[in-house]
Structure 1
């Protein structure tokens, strides 16, 4: 496995992704299978990154941690990251029952709401990166769910 720092062209968002090999990354990139988790842009490139060379296990430096749970170097602690992700998952689970699953019709349903043809408050569903970009281009607010969910029709 290999990890690459990636960057999207639309918003210059940086993110990390794991691949079986460099060739696997190139193949997936060429097929448009890699998308920015922030904006959905599939125009993704490798970002500049420093090589990851691990220190010897008997020479690992101690990490100073602030009372907030964040290390002094500005990186959040693993415990803080787990706590934030758990809080996001709880809020998302509270919101989903208040919205309607529209499946693959998400882009059309979002446009109908934006144009006033439908008076729903919340929907959730699936959109391709191209559909998501089209919504953004038209000024229609939509964002990916931060915690993946199984579509209702895929649950046993």
Structure 2
């Protein structure tokens, strides 16, 4: 998937668009499927954006603090050797290689709270999500904030049609399926 920062020519609104490829973006523009979610304008183009360069997964970041062996001799004695990181125990969040850093826990907590607020201000349409989202996109139904269920394939098809959908980062349980 490619994420483009887009901008409408009419109102200069900026928004994000996800596409399978740059050719997919061009085809959708030609068919008039890319529109501004703020004003509905079909005059949309790519906005200037900073490159998104990701570090390879097998690279380690350089340590900013010298290791005990790299420290000057006068500091070696005063600096205790690094203790091994404890393994995550039951009830603690963990990822491969150790416990989550506090910043990550805080970020996930904020994301979870944002999802809760988004769900509160939207209507659950359950298995009718794809049909309802499509109907709203094509003007057959009044637009409103909704959430529900969609297969990965259906979500990709909606995105290809220009329907703005976002997956929920955390699983949810509907009241009828809760214990």
Taking structure 1 as the reference length, what is the TM-score of the superposition?
A: 0.51
Please state whether the residue corresponding to 2:114 is helix, strand or coil: helix
RMSD over aligned Cα, in angstroms? Answer: 3.1
Of 125, 144, 148, 2:167 maps to 144
Q: How does 1:128-139 map to 2 (within 5 A)?
A: 128-139=151-162
Identify the structure with bigger relative contact order (alpha carbons < 8 Å, sequence gap 6+). 1
Structure 1 position 119 matched with structure 2 position 142: yes
The residue number in structure 1 matching 2:104 is 81
Measured in 1, the distance between the counterparts of 2:168 and 2:141 equals 22
For residues 21-32 of structure 1, what are the structure 2 equivalents within 5 Å? none
Structure-to-structure mapping, 1:6-155, within 5 angstroms: 10-11=1-2, 50=58, 78-155=101-178
Flag the structure with larger Rg.
2
Q: Which runs of 5+ in 2 are unaligned?
A: 4-17, 21-55, 60-80, 86-99
Q: CA deviation at 1:101?
A: 0.7
Q: Which runs of 4+ in 1 moved over 2 A?
A: 48-51, 58-62
Structure 1 position 120, deviation (Å): 3.5
Q: What is the distance in 2 between the residues matched to 1:142 and 1:117?
A: 17
Residues 88-147 of structure 1, C-alpha deviations (whole Å, 9 max, x = no match): 111111121211111111111100110112214210011001100100110111010112
Structure with the higher fraction of residues in helix conformation: 1
Q: Number of paired residues?
A: 95
CA distance 1:49–1:94, shift in 2 (3 Å)? closer
SS of match in other structure, 1:88 = helix
